[in-house]
Amino acid sequence: MVLVSFGGPESAEDVVPFLRNVTRGRGIPDERLAEVGQHYSLFGGRSPINDQCRALIAALTDEFQRRGISVPIFWGNRNWNPYLADTFAELQDAGHRRVLAVITSAYPSYSSCRQYRENLYDAARGTELQVDRLRHYANHPGFVEASVDAVIEGLAELGADRETGSTDPRLVFVTHSIPTAMAQAAGPATDPNGVPRSADGGYVDWHRTVLAEVTRRVAERTGRELVAELAYCSRSGPPGQPWLEPDINDRLAELAGEGVRDVIAVPIGFISDHMEVIYDLDTEAAATAAELGVRFARAATAGVHPAFVAGLVDLIEERAAAARGEDPDRPVAAGEPGWYECPVDCCRNLRQPDRPTLCQASS
């Protein structure tokens, strides 16, 4: 098994080289990359993502041992050490021939799915490795249950309880903004029954499904019907290019104007505390809320929550059963199961439509 992640700098000296990797082919000068990378300086020049991968690998290893699974766990990144190509070369040299990729991104879109599959193709080229991957898992019971617990803990943090006389907080589920065109191209054009997707695309549809299910389960457990909505963070495209909106900071201002005084930000688009979480939410959005007089709590990401870790191992065992030719159950908390092999029209690369990928259906 290989944990496949985005990667992040480990020191201040790594920041610009890392950002060069992320933006390769776009012609962005180093001066601009240095400006973009300034927020890393607030955290010692380090991204938290690599330590979070190490923690997840340790948690998965413990769960493997508990279940008697004797599969080694490797790790490879798209944009920083350990690079995915180096990890695949290590696997090849060690005599492995079949690899299961567990991607640290739970939703379908080009940047969160197909681009990883392109990187898997590049890394596996020249090796004898056969690469499989988990289905999308944002709507898996393990991820959803971890998110429900996080919201309930956020309620406790705010102390927003009817007995105190405070109003119910607004739940603002937050994910990474992407270009609108990319969002509209996410997922196949139709669902398994041939029904066309919404005009917003699969990326937004999946988030709305998970949002609704988490909110429903919070109501079941607390008896409180909370209003929930979706917002975005980390917009990085040119000003003239449409990206998904509203931005979390803009939405906080609107909510304050509507009289909302308590907000719980739920980073449903991230599996752990990436830079987009600790900077865009814990730093920027928290500061915006404070300026507006809005009480603000940030719910936890799934991280190494026991339900999430166990759910990933359930998915690993499910995928292994499918590889053996079995027909395993594919449980979901809501919506439809993701795909082991993505349809050809799924999450298209709008810049390079013919770029090869792995884990794609033949037709």
Instruction: Give the tens place of pLDDT for each residue, 260-290.
Output: 999 999 999 999 999 999 999 999 999 999 9
Q: What is the sign of the dihedral through the CA atoms of 76, 4, 234 and 40?
A: negative
Is it true that the peptide bond before 246 is cis, omega within 30 degrees of 0?
Answer: yes
Question: CA-CA distance, 5 to 83, in Å (whole number)?
Answer: 9
Model confidence at 348, pLDDT cuts 50, 70, 90, reads very high
pLDDT in the model for residue 236: 84
Sequence-ordered list of residues with C-beta below 8 angstroms from that of 164, at least 6 positions apart, any chain: none
Q: Say yes or no to pLDDT of 329 above 80.
A: yes
pLDDT in the model for residue 166: 55
The string of pLDDT tens digits covering residues 146-202 is 999 999 999 999 985 444 445 789 999 999 999 999 999 998 877 777 777 789 999
DSSP 55-102: HHHHHHHHHHHHHT-----EEEESSSSSBHHHHHHHHHHTT--EEEEE
Tokens 């909510």 correspond to 255
Q: Is the pTM of this model over 0.85?
A: yes
Sequence-ordered list of residues with C-beta below 8 angstroms from that of 84, at least 6 positions apart, any chain: 2, 4, 76, 77, 78, 119, 120, 122, 123
Give me the architecture of the 2-137+305-323 domain, per CATH.
Answer: 3-Layer(aba) Sandwich (3.40)
Q: At what angle do helices 306-323 and 141-158 cross, to 10 degrees?
A: 170
Cα angle value 186/210/176 (rounded, 5°)? 55
The string of pLDDT tens digits covering residues 79-131 is 999 999 999 999 999 999 999 999 999 999 999 999 999 999 999 999 999 99
Q: What is the sign of the dihedral through the CA atoms of 77, 35, 244 and 291?
A: positive
pLDDT in the model for residue 305: 98
Model confidence at 237, pLDDT cuts 50, 70, 90, reads confident
User: Right CATH number for 141-298 from 3.40.50.1400, 3.40.50.300, 3.20.20.60, 3.40.190.10?
Assistant: 3.40.50.1400
Give yes or no for a contact between 316 and 102, defined as CB atoms under 8 angstroms apart: yes
Model confidence at 363, pLDDT cuts 50, 70, 90, reads low
Q: Where in the chain is the domain with CATH 3.40.50.1400?
A: 2-137+305-323, 141-298
pLDDT in the model for residue 27: 77
Query: By C-alpha distance, which of 288, 233, 298 is closest to 266?
Result: 298
Q: How far is CA 239 from CA 112, 185, 243, 254, in A?
A: 22, 21, 9, 21
